[in-house]
Chain A
Amino acid sequence: MKVLVIDDDPQARVLLRRSLEILGGLAVIEADSGREGARLAVSERPDCVLLDANMPDWDGPETLHAIRATDEGAAMSVIFVTGASSEDEVARLEALGVTGVLKKPFEPRSFVAAVLALTSGSRSAQHGESKEHEAL
């Protein structure tokens, strides 16, 4: 399974990449901005996108909108990763039609398990319900 990580924080990206590769056995590609991420979502057609909700320039929801506007990304599995501390913000992200919402900070093993569980569900149900996981 190929995962696209979109996050402007290099410290977050490297931890996500290495944990997904080693603990999850996944292939990982990275983008450091929403614009670049939306471009890679079309050209690389990943099985899943891990999308940071809070980025400069295009934030998570704007990037999601750009991905969804393409033929390749219309039904793509997208999981928001957010440092939001309020449940209202998490609920707002869930309502945007994503596979799930995972929180930062996260414990790597739990985070990878949550990604695998969410993507497994979305692959079997095509358009599974959005779920929030506490990846702690």
Chain B
Amino acid sequence: MEREWEKIYADLRRRFAASAVDQVATAAALVRSLEIGDGGPRLGDLRTVLHKLAGSAGSYGYDEISRLSLDGELVCKSMIESGRTVDADVLERLRTVLAALESEVATPALPERAR
């Protein structure tokens, strides 16, 4: 059972790593749409994408992707709950998170527990 699980878990992680690239690309596109003033629902969409990524990435052992996604999600959550409009400072924070995520998914670190 243990050997079977290790093999399957490794395969699931590979698939997740591939899909994370697409999810981060979706999040980056949403941040770009915020840059051109298309706010409102886009911020909720961005929060949803980052929320899922935070949960799944951590469960697949990609802790840094999970941590960065949670950082971005909390920025979105704070803005949504405050009702404030997205300003230059918030955009910069989201751009920073997305740049780090893009770098991370390009070469995701091997999960600690898989070593």
Interface, chain A (partner B; CB < 8 A): 9, 11-12, 14-15, 18-19, 22-23, 54, 56, 83, 85, 104-108, 111
Contact = CB atoms under 8 A, between A and B. Distances in A.
Contact of B55 (A14, A19, A83, A108): A83
A23 B2 CA distance: 8
Interface of B: 1, 4-5, 8-9, 12, 15-16, 19, 48, 51-52, 54-60, 66, 70, 74, 113
Contacts of A18: 8-9, 12
B16 A11 contact: yes
Nearest to B66: A105
A104 B56 CA distance: 8
A22 B1 contact: yes
B5 A22 contact: yes
Query: 4 tightest CB-CB pairs across the interface, nearest first?
Result: A105-B58, A104-B55, A83-B55, A11-B56
A104 B48 CA distance: 14
A18 B5 CA distance: 8
Contact of A83 (B1, B5, B51, B60): B51
Nearest to A107: B113
Given A11-B16, A15-B60, A108 B52 contact: no
B61 to A, nearest CB: 8
Nearest to B5: A22
21 contacts: A9-B55, A9-B56, A11-B16, A11-B56, A12-B56, A14-B12, A15-B56, A18-B12, A19-B5, A19-B9, A23-B5, A54-B51, A56-B48, A83-B54, A104-B54, A104-B58, A105-B54, A105-B55, A105-B56, A105-B66, A106-B59
